[in-house]
Structure 1
Amino acid sequence: MLTGFSVQSRLLPYLEQAAVYDSINFSIESNLPGYFPKGNGTAASTRVAVFFCPSDPETRGIGYAPISYRASAGTCDEGESNETGAFVHPKRTLKPADFLDGLSSTLAFSEKPIGFSAQQELRLFATGFN
């Protein structure tokens, strides 16, 4: 069953990060944007190199591992979700046929510098939303 975890957390086994993936308790709901459920702090604080842009000079966090690449959230204001993006709400599963304009026209990820603000540091690979 899919819970409110990010697509980045679901990619971990395919990025040679099976140990981090196995440490995540996916049975705990994560429904608040920018937050991870209690009990997954170890996974959320584990830095995964592929989630960092090599040219971003800012890689520090506030105890948790931030990310440089965010999954498509569709059209919404920051911190909100209207569930129009391909990956904004992982509780539903999309098939290739669900992308009516074709996968070649679909933005899956974009880069955003990690930056310094606490708000930006809430973008964690183990969160419910990115």
Structure 2
Amino acid sequence: MSAAAFNPADIAQGQLDAYNAQDLDAHCAFYSDDVVVADFNGAVIRQGMAAYREAYAKMFAEFPQNHAALVNRVVIGNTVIDHERVARTPGGDTFDVAAIYTIAGGKIARVDFVRG
């Protein structure tokens, strides 16, 4: 996907599909090298691709059946807000997350999470 022709909703969906497939390389390809992950109105949790990749490699290893279902998506300009319902195991407990993706240059530059 070229940066000139990117569609923010497609980027958000692509990273979600790769996340659900636990394809670390494909998932990380949707994020900028200097990606910032933060709690909404809170602290930065991780910054940069090395830290991002390490965190998701660990999560995929710990929860091999983890799955996030898209409940709702709102796209405003280069911002995508996804309401996701996450289950660590099939039929297990779920939790809700709002992921606010900021897209820049055809990649996700920042994610702010609201956890329910």
Say yes or no: TM over 0.5: no
Question: Larger % of strand: which?
Answer: 2
> Of the two, which has the highest radius of gyration?
1
Normalised by the length of structure 1, the TM-score is 0.27
Normalised by the length of structure 2, the TM-score is 0.29
